[in-house]
């Protein structure tokens, strides 16, 4: 399937799983005109239009994988596609698509056209690359704090072991380092990354905006009302009859 630029020139929110996400009025993301791409199990707390995950299907809630209204992207493999979710193979879940992966991207090539999607053992970079490939040119990062607390690691219910917490800490540190090097590359490709997550290390590298400001900005050129009273009936386009008498 060719999905390149189907959202050409649009903006979207990329939602990570940080607990700070729950401090925002997430109901604002239900407004028409807003697109949200959520990573991993974040759709359990955030209204989601597009989902991406780089892990095995066992890592995700069946409620997410079976939701027909969410466009879902997962890493391809025969064993993963054949895995059954409530009696349905992952490959047969509604509105679900699969991609190949490559480790050979660099901070200078991440957004260049390629058959595959980046795999740096981190769904975040996959989400950024997918957003660009789909045509989004401005992304607002929410729930992307890249910090982890011992008492609560995610905005959704999931408890990590101490070793898993330490692994995440290393992953977050490498993410920030890569994001620093990626900024010139993003600038060259006209890809605007804006951090809307309080106390994120990215706030020292990328432009920032509050969550509410980002919602307003994303909707500034979108009609605020349906205005159906101004729509005309199709009969007005009917060619007038010519009287030959």
Q: Where along the chain do its domains lie?
A: 11-237
> Residue written as tokens 């401090």?
23
State what percent of residues in the chain have pLDDT above 70: 99
pLDDT digits (tens, 9 = 90+) for 193-209: 999 999 999 999 999 99
Task: Say if CB 183 and CB 206 are below 8 A apart.
Answer: yes
Rounded to an integer, what distance in angstroms lies between the CA atom of residue 45 and that of residue 29?
Answer: 11
pLDDT digits (tens, 9 = 90+) for 31-65: 999 999 999 999 999 999 999 999 999 999 999 99
Query: pTM of the prediction?
Result: 0.92
Task: Say if CB 122 and CB 146 are below 8 A apart.
Answer: no
Q: Does residue 240 register a pLDDT over 80?
A: no
Residue range 53-81: average pLDDT? 94
Which has the closest alpha carbon to 29: 7, 51, 14? 14
Is 11-237 CATH 3.90.1480?
yes
Which has the closest alpha carbon to 35: 49, 21, 25? 49
Residue-averaged pLDDT of the chain: 93
Q: How confident is the model at residue 245 (pLDDT cuts 50, 70, 90)?
A: low
Which has the closest alpha carbon to 219: 21, 5, 30? 30
* pLDDT on residue 114: 92
First to last CA, the chain: 57
pLDDT digits (tens, 9 = 90+) for 99-113: 999 999 999 999 999
Q: Which residues, listed in sequence order, are joined to residue 53 by a DSSP beta bridge?
A: 74
Longest dimension (CA), the chain: 92
């Amino acid at each position: 399937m060719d999905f390149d630029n189907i959202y050409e020139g649009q903006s979207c929110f990329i939602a990570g799983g940080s607990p700070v996400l729950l401090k925002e009025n997430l109901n604002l993301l239900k407004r028409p005109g807003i697109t949200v791409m959520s990573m991993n199990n974040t759709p359990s707390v955030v209204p989601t239009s597009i989902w991406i995950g780089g892990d095995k299907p066992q890592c995700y809630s069946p409620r997410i994988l079976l939701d027909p209204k969410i466009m879902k992207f997962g890493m391809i493999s025969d064993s993963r596609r054949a895995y059954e979710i409530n009696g349905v193979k992952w490959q047969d879940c509604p509105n679900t698509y699969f991609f190949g992966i490559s480790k050979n991207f660099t901070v200078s090539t991440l957004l260049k056209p390629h058959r595959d999607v980046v795999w740096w053992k981190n769904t975040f970079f996959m989400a950024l690359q997918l957003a660009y490939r789909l045509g989004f040119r401005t992304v607002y990062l929410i729930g992307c704090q890249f910090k982890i607390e011992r008492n609560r690691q995610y905005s959704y219910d999931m408890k990590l072991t101490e070793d898993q917490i330490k692994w995440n800490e290393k992953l977050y540190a490498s993410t920030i380092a890569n994001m620093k090097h990626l900024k010139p590359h993003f600038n060259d490709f006209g890809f605007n990354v804006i951090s809307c997550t309080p106390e994120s290390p990215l706030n020292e590298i990328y432009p920032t905006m509050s969550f509410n400001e980002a919602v307003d900005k994303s909707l500034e050129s979108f009609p605020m009302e349906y205005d159906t009273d101004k729509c005309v009936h199709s009969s007005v386009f009917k060619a007038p009859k010519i009287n030959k008498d």
